[in-house]
């Protein structure tokens, strides 16, 4: 192939055939393991989506066992889990796992991710980790371990819907990172470690914390337009807005918004955050439309992730690690799919440096 130009962001370059998920950016449709995300999130548990993505049975039990085994490893992982940043902690802790090989790695890394993310958050607050309950649902158990809350019956299902909604999303940056590592014949733990590193970045999974910072700074709906305008004038991006693929609103934004509404109805307390978030979204959308008339920049998944995860009792430092707790399901499925192709991912670069002097 002639090296005429570099595809620096690889937009539109198809690097794999997949049965795992499909992102239709024009229509705003996300299919995960053959189902629309709207049908899955809120009605199917995270374990069931893992089972579909991995093609495995008995996943709930295996995840519970993995959480228990990972909990036993925590004393050895103290150094990694002392990191101030949750994604640094996860990267360091996951990297120390030993891959088991083949299908066993899915439950193993997924169970461990939840235990590590929860233990890190507790340690940050100077608290001991909470032991897992292997017979509990994965989302509920993560929430209980992460918040120390005894009763997660109301909030657990909302977090479960979030984990399902983010479980897989086409060839996103962290999934691609995982597939590149898997394509070399390396193991699933190495692939997931690389994926955690990719997810950390604010252009990928690091946005929901800053979304909440933004809502805090704006405070009231009528201040949104001027605050956002000043950000854009200063050349900064509005977090939670825009997407590489979607040219309409990210369907996951609506899925998560619905979960927040559901929680409000159950708790019988309207959240001022949700009202503010909606006003900020409207203002951001209209300002971005004025400044980028040719490029639709609408709310992405991170926008309402911030509001939902805050509502379930997680702090903003826990948002990105919680994203990893859900997305690890997809990472592992892609690792297995990539491995089956047996094909090394090895693109080319175009050399534009100096030539040797003769």
Residues forming the active site: 243, 302
Give the binding range for ligand COA (CB under 6 A) out of 81-89, 192-200, 236-244, 309-317.
236-244
Nearest distance in Å: CB 76, ligand COA: 34
| C-alpha to C-alpha distance for 61 and 101, rounded to whole angstroms | 19
Q: Which residues in 50-69 are b (16+ Cβ under 10 Å) and which e?
A: bbbbbebeebbebbbbbbeb
Give the binding range for ligand COA (CB under 6 A) out of 64-72, 109-117, 131-139, 232-240.
232-240
- Are 248 and 23 a contacting pair, CB within 8 Å? no
Tell me the CA end-to-end span of the chain in Å, nearest whole number: 28
Pick the binder of ligand COA from 39, 265, 295, 343 (CB under 6 A). Answer: 295
| C-alpha to C-alpha distance for 245 and 42, rounded to whole angstroms | 24
Give the binding range for ligand COA (CB under 6 A) out of 38-46, 69-77, 231-239, 268-276.
231-239
Q: Which residue is nearest to ligand COA (CB)?
A: 242
> Could you tell me which residues come within 8 angstroms of residue 35 by beta carbon, excluding any fewer than 6 positions away?
44, 52
- Are 53 and 330 a contacting pair, CB within 8 Å? yes
240 binds ligand COA (CB under 6 A): yes
Nearest distance in Å: CB 208, ligand COA: 8
Q: Which is nearer to ligand COA, 27 or 292 (CB)?
A: 292
141 binds ligand COA (CB under 6 A): no
Nearest distance in Å: CB 325, ligand COA: 17
Nearest distance in Å: CB 271, ligand COA: 21
> Could you tell me which residues come within 8 angstroms of residue 71 by beta carbon, excluding any fewer than 6 positions away?
115, 119, 129, 131, 132
183 binds ligand COA (CB under 6 A): no
Pick the binder of ligand COA from 123, 237, 273, 316 (CB under 6 A). Answer: 237
244 binds ligand COA (CB under 6 A): yes
CA-based radius of gyration for the chain = 20
| 44 alpha carbon, distance to own chain's centre | 18
The DSSP line for 93-149 is HHHTSPP--GGGHHHHHHHHHHHHHHHHHHHHTT-PPPPP-TTS-HHHHHHHHHH--
Among 101, 85, 91, smallest CA distance to 318 is for 85
Give the binding range for ligand COA (CB under 6 A) out of 57-65, 127-135, 237-245, 337-345.
237-245
207 binds ligand COA (CB under 6 A): yes
Torsion of CA 240, 243, 249, 250, to 10 degrees: -80
Give the binding range for ligand COA (CB under 6 A) out of 82-90, 114-122, 174-182, 234-242.
234-242
230 binds ligand COA (CB under 6 A): no
Pick the binder of ligand COA from 199, 238, 309, 311 (CB under 6 A). Answer: 238
Residues from 271 through 290 that contact ligand COA (CB under 6 A): 288
239 binds ligand COA (CB under 6 A): yes
Specify the DSSP class assigned to residue 239: T
| C-alpha to C-alpha distance for 30 and 22, rounded to whole angstroms | 6
Q: Which is nearer to ligand COA, 170 or 242 (CB)?
A: 242
Q: Which positions lie near ligand COA, rule CB under 6 A?
A: 9, 203, 207, 237-244, 288, 292, 295, 297, 300-302
């Amino acid at each position: 192939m002639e090296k005429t130009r570099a595809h620096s962001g690889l937009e539109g370059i198809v690097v794999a055939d997949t049965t795992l998920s499909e992102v239709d950016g024009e229509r705003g449709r996300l299919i995960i393991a053959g189902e629309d995300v709207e049908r899955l999130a809120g009605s199917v548990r995270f374990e069931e989506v893992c089972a579909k993505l991995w093609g495995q049975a008995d996943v709930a039990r295996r995840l519970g066992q993995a959480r228990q085994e990972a909990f036993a490893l925590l004393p050895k992982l103290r150094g990694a889990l002392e990191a101030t940043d949750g994604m640094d902690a996860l990267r360091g802790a996951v990297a120390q796992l030993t891959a088991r090989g083949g299908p066993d790695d899915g439950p193993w890394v997924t169970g461990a991710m939840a235990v590590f993310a929860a233990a890190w958050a507790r340690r940050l607050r100077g608290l001991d980790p909470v032991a897992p309950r292997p017979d509990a649902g994965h989302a509920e158990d993560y929430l209980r371990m992460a918040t120390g809350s005894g009763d997660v019956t109301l909030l657990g299902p909302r977090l479960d819907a979030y984990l399902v909604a983010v479980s897989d999303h086409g060839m996103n940056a962290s999934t691609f990172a995982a597939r590149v590592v898997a394509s070399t014949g390396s193991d699933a733990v190495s692939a997931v470690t690389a994926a955690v590193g990719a997810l950390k970045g604010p252009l990928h999974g690091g946005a929901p914390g800053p979304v909440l910072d933004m809502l805090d700074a704006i405070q009231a709906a009528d201040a949104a337009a001027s605050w956002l305008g000043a950000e854009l004038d200063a050349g900064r991006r509005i977090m939670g807005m825009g997407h590489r693929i979607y040219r309409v609103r990210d369907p996951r934004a609506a899925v998560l918004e619905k979960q927040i509404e559901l929680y409000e109805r159950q708790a019988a307390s309207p959240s001022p955050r949700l009202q503010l978030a909606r006003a900020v979204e409207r203002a951001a959308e209209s300002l971005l439309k004025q400044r980028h008339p040719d490029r639709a920049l609408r709310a992405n998944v991170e926008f309402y992730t911030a509001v939902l995860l805050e509502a379930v009792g997680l702090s903003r430092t826990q948002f990105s690690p919680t994203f990893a707790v859900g997305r690890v399901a997809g990472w592992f499925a892609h690792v297995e799919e990539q491995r089956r192709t047996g094909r090394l991912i090895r693109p080319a670069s175009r050399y534009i440096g100096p030539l040797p002097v003769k």
